[in-house]
Amino acid sequence: MMRRRSTRGSALLGVLLLAFLTACGGSGSSGAADRPGITASPTRERPTATREPDTPGGSSEAGPTRGPTRGPTSEPAPEPTSAPATREPPRSSAPVSSSTESTAPSGSTTGDAEWPAGKEGWTVVLVTAPSEDDAKSKAEDFAGQGIEGVGVLDTNDFSSLKDGSFVVFAGQFDTQAQAADALDKVDAQDAYIRHIVPN
């Protein structure tokens, strides 16, 4: 009985030992290292694949990211400056009188001033003469005294004058008041103002 148990125990021990050796043999280099006399071969590391730089045209990787390319900064164009407004001189609010005294015509200092054709106005009558030559002679005398705008009118050409004579006049005025002012400055005894109306 004791022998049979010893035989069973030996068989069981052999099975366990075989199983142990089998397990150690399957572990590779660690099992060989545990067993004396067996040198474990060095573990070969798998080389890491190095990625070659992509050639131009075949690059699958994006190159370094570049920021937005900025050209030369253009300065803003200067705004056109408007020229300062020219201030007009203030206009007088007083109405301009259209009735102004006429200046003496050219040649009036010699007694040959002419009355404008078709003009209606006022004048200072210095003297009335029966003939044109007499009237012109008197006109030269008045002009020589410094009276301006002296001339001769044929009364036949004016409806406001009596026909058949010649009038020596001085000045051409738009209003009766202007003619009256001029009369005060004339040194002629028989002078008077008269409204002149052409035919």
Write down the domain spans for the chain. Answer: 108-196
Is residue 142 helix, strand or coil? helix
Phi, psi torsion values for 129, nearest 5 degrees = -120, 150
**Residue 96 and residue 102 in contact, taking contact as beta carbons nearer than 8 Å:** no
Report pLDDT digits (tens) over 29-41: 444 444 444 444 4
User: What distance in Å separates the CA atoms of residue 126 and residue 193, rounded to the nearest whole number?
Assistant: 9
Topology of the domain comprising 108-196: Alpha-Beta Plaits (3.30.70)
Structure-token match 């003496």, residue found = 104
Report pLDDT digits (tens) over 163-178: 999 999 999 999 999 9
pLDDT in tens, the chain (199 residues): 555 555 666 777 877 888 778 776 655 444 444 444 444 444 555 545 555 555 444 444 444 445 455 555 556 666 656 555 556 555 555 444 444 444 444 445 678 899 999 999 999 999 999 999 999 999 999 999 999 999 999 999 999 999 999 999 999 999 999 999 999 999 888 899 999 999 9
Token digits of residue 40: 């474990």
**Residue 156 and residue 135 in contact, taking contact as beta carbons nearer than 8 Å:** no
Position 38 scores a pLDDT of 43
Phi, psi torsion values for 166, nearest 5 degrees = -130, 135
Sign (positive/negative) of CA torsion 194, 195, 198, 199? negative
